[in-house]
Amino acid sequence: MKSRLFSLAIYMSATISGMLVLLYPFFLPAVQQTGFGTLRLEQMPMMMTLLLGLCLLVLLFEAQGPMVNTKLIALLGILVAINSALRFIETAIPGPGGFTPIFFLIILVGYVFGGRVGFLMGALTLLVSALVTGGVGPWLPAQMFTAGWVGMSTPLLHPIGKAFIARQAKRTSAKFNPEILLLAFFGLLWGFLYGAIMNLWQWPFIAGPRNQSYAAGLGLIETLQRYLAYYLVTSLVWDAIAATGNVLLMLTFGKPALRALRRFRQRFEFNYTPEPPDATKQQGGSITG
């Protein structure tokens, strides 16, 4: 219990620190910062990358904690490969706007296998696909972090999902599976959120019209208004295509993919029990799965 609480504290602090790093434009005061040990505006992207990278390292370490397990490692390895292949195909034949097929599987894996696996699935998909497409860059920690959040936040749907399943059991003739609708809505939400979070990485450094560009010390409300205006003008259409793509993929492939993942989760849930000490001595060690 103590270990779980401690783990939760680490998760929370890494997530909050990461959010603080990304959301700094909203609470940066208009204080003139000078002297050694303070940062210029040009140095901020590098600093953000470093800090996000450190938060990501802690989150990844904590998430991989119970993963010294061959089944989970093999499962994640293969699922990440499938998702990276989809991203590889999408990079070679770009879809419209911000359409990308990777979030479909990240959401489903997080929903079926839990937040930790979802986080690793999101972060590692971005890492592996960046490695194979030559897309490693300073933007990678922020991408891994955000994609990880997509997978990690999916279990939040479980209470609502269970209610939907219970209701569906009574109405078997429903045309759409309510659980899939819920996941599609989640995909829609993250389609916009992913773009909005990734925009924060560059927004403070882009010069633009006064009502859309960043200026230090404006206060939370005005900064939010300006960011919203910038987002509406530059990213809304792009992200709307990404979000619509997530919804379409979920509605089209969600049901059979969810069924397949659940079936395999049951198959992956078996455990090897260690042999008794006497037998272990004779055979030179036990095997844990």
Tell me whether residue 214 is exposed, middle or buried, using C-beta atoms within 10 angstroms of its C-beta: 0 to 12, 13 to 18, 19 or more.
buried
252 binds another protein (CB under 8 A): yes
Binding flags for another protein, 270-289, as an x/- string (CB under 8 A): --x------------xxxxx
Toward another protein, which CB reaches closer, 28 or 193?
Answer: 28
The per-residue DSSP string of 220-276 comes to HHHHHHHHHHHHHHHTHHHHHHHHHHHHHHHHHHHHHHHHHHHHHHHHHT--PPPPP
- For the CB of residue 159, give the shortest distance to another protein in the complex, in Å: 26
Q: How many chain residues bind another protein (CB under 8 A)?
A: 94
Rounded to a whole number of angstroms, the minimum distance from the CB of residue 249 to another protein is 8
CB count, 10 Å around CB of 201? 21
| Closest separation in Å from C-beta 170 to another protein | 28
The angle that helices 140-153 and 44-64 make with each other, rounded to 10 degrees, is 40
Interface positions, 123-182, toward another protein (CB under 8 A): 124, 127-128, 131-138
H helix and E strand count, the chain: 11, 0
Q: Which CB sits closer to another protein, 159 or 256?
A: 256
Q: Which of 45, 97, 114, 178 binds another protein (CB under 8 A)?
A: 45
| The binder of another protein chosen from 32, 172, 173, 271 (CB under 8 A) | 32
Which residues within the stretch 57-96 sit at the binding site for another protein (CB under 8 A)? 57-58, 60-62, 64, 67-71, 73-82, 84-85, 88-89, 91-92
Residues 6+ positions from 200 with CB-CB distance below 8 Å: 22, 23, 25, 227
- 122 within 8 A of 110, measured Cβ to Cβ: yes
Q: Which of 1, 4, 5, 42 binds another protein (CB under 8 A)?
A: 42
